[in-house]
Chains A and B, each alone.
Chain A
Amino acid sequence: MLELIEEFNVLAAFWMTIKLALLSGFFALVIGTFVAILRLSPVAILSWAGAAYVTLIRNTPLTLIILFTSLGLWGQLGFEPASRDSPTFIVDLNFRLAVLGLSVYHAAFVCEAIRSGVNTIPLGQAEASRSIGLTFAQGLRHVILPQAFRGAITPLGNVMIALTKNTTVAVAIGVAEAAAALRNMIEFRPDVIFLNFFVIALGFVILTLPLGLLTSYASEKLVVKR
């Protein structure tokens, strides 16, 4: 098993998975929070735009979105988030396009997670913030969102776990992550196909299990006691 891991550079593949997950997780959180604010805002057209984003993105398969970033955005529209002079041009390009696709897709779920966090806040909090004269933006920033994030830890953690597993889809545009490693391993060592599967599957269990435990620990620790 160790020899297999060394031969096919499984650790490097999982490092790629982790990088994809962390970067996309960060961007998804930023975009998702922005969309959630749009959805909660008093201006009808903004909340409509946020809702449209969530409905469209959430109902599209991730595979399609990631392929589209490469074949459509890059191939057809010439969107090129990497420099051609760099020796690692293709690798960088595919990695960044995958991060873009993963972030855009999971932002829709982050938005819904935050909205469910907003739902855990009692009415009195919002009323109190209004009655002391805070504007919508101030109330959101000082009262609603801090509590919403703390209430949304469980769904946010679940999004992060799903995101970690979904990074495998990046294999569709040639990112050398865990699914690509599995394909290589099966191609060159078909004799130990079950072990190949087990190694990669175990890697994902090792990545997602602590995330799940961390999520339930953090949600208990950070929940707003009422």
Chain B
Amino acid sequence: MSAQQVLFDVPGPKARVRHRLIAVLGLLAILAVLAFILFRMDEKGQLAADKWTSLFEASAWTNYFLPGIWDLVRAAVVAIILSMVLGLLLAMGRMSDLLPLRWATTVFVEFFRAVPVLIMMIFTFFYLANQEWSNDSWNPFIGVVVGLTLYNSSVLCEVIRSGVGSLPSGQREAGLSIGLNPSQVRRSILVPQALTSMLPTIVSQIIVIVKDSALGYIILYPELLTQARNLSSSRGNVLQAYLFAALIFILINYALSKLAEALENRQRRKAAGAGKKAKQDQQDGEEGVGGSTDESVQHNTQTSQATGS
């Protein structure tokens, strides 16, 4: 059931007329805004054809966009892998039976979740720049990766922990009753299941990583945004280059968010096949005005993609 069917009645003849009127007015308002922007761009000479066509020259791609995308992907992939590994270790630490280990990882996670990614990037970058042994050409890359990893591993740690928390308690009990010790239960029963059920959340965290790697601009890492600036300073098309870079980011992230959605749907179907009755009861309880349960599931898993961090 969609929100639309609940929040208002099926429109009658009068309401349909009114809706059509509002639709026309809304469309006019949207067109007016677009027209204003285009008019303004024309006035400032931003619609000149060469400012746009230079985005599609082969040299713009081979010298700027493709290296930019490659550097973006490189930093994002390394950061994702490291965050997963570190996040897993942190989650193990936070769930461990050793009190000092639990404290240490808790402080680590809470601290790095509270500190902005950019602060960690700036610190790492300048710290390395002040060290004699470091290779200057690698500093921006390492700065970006370290900043992203510290933050996202802390977030993924919490994601994994909440995944373990949402498993039925029978899983743990069954593991204990066949003679595994608590840490074996966590390693071989709980965490693997949590990882699978958290897969969509982990994919949406990748969107956050891709977006945050654009922060590398500030510490001179030559990712897509920096390359857009370089392109614009050689072709004099600032507006166009940035808009185009935004378009590439949006396409990448949109594709990732669709992937996360598809994974989530697949898991829901699988869960529905396994325990139809239990799932059905749960859904009945969850249904709200917004109707669709997928929304509430998405928002229960609090990731930074939902908060804009």
Contacts and interface: CB of A to CB of B under 8 A. Distances in A.
A105 B289 contact: no
Nearest to A163: B308
B225 A64 contact: yes
Given A46-B26, A77-B41, A171-B218, A193 B130 contact: yes
A72 interface: yes
A76 interface: yes
Contacts of B280: none
Given A63-B214, A122-B288, A193-B130, A169 B238 contact: no
Given A75-B238, A169-B215, A205-B111, A59 B119 contact: no
Contacts of B229: 67
A190 B130 contact: yes
A123 B214 CA distance: 41
Interface residues of B, number: 65
B249 to A, nearest CB: 6
Contacts of A98: none
B284 to A, nearest CB: 11
B237 to A, nearest CB: 9
A116 B139 CA distance: 41
Given A63-B217, A126-B289, A144-B7, A193 B41 contact: no
B116 interface: yes
A108 interface: yes
Contact of A162 (B115, B119, B250, B304): B304
A187 B287 CA distance: 55
Nearest to B228: A64
A125 interface: yes
B159 interface: no
B236 to A, nearest CB: 10
Contact of B296 (A71, A116, A135, A183): A116
Interface in A95-134: 105-106, 108-109, 112-113, 115-116, 118-123, 125-127, 130
A31 interface: no
Contact of B290 (A44, A56, A119, A201): A119
Given A59-B253, A62-B211, A169-B215, A106 B119 contact: no
7 A-B pairs closest in CB distance: A61-B214, A119-B290, A162-B309, A59-B253, A116-B299, A109-B308, A165-B116
Interface string A13-50: 00000000000000000000000000010111111010
Contacts of A204: 114-116, 119
A94 to B, nearest CB: 15
A49 B308 contact: no
B278 to A, nearest CB: 21
B188 interface: no
Contact of B7 (A71, A126, A209): A126
Given A64-B249, A77-B40, A119-B296, A71 B308 contact: no
Contacts of B242: 64, 67-68, 71-72
Interface in B200-243: 207, 210-212, 214-215, 217-218, 225, 229, 238-239, 242-243
Interface residues of A, number: 77
Contacts of A55: 250, 254
B214 A197 contact: no
Contacts of A208: 114
B14 to A, nearest CB: 11
A183 B218 CA distance: 11
Interface string B33-52: 00000001100101000000
Interface stretch (B121-129, B160-168, B191-199): B121-129
A60 B229 CA distance: 16
Contacts of B22: 43, 46
B132 interface: no
Interface centre among B217, B245, B246, B308 (most CB of A within 10 A): B308
B119 A168 contact: yes
Interface string B162-198: 0000000000000000000000000000000000000
Interface centre among A61, A168, A204 (most CB of B within 10 A): A61
A89 interface: no
A62 B207 CA distance: 13
B215 A45 contact: no
A182 B44 CA distance: 37
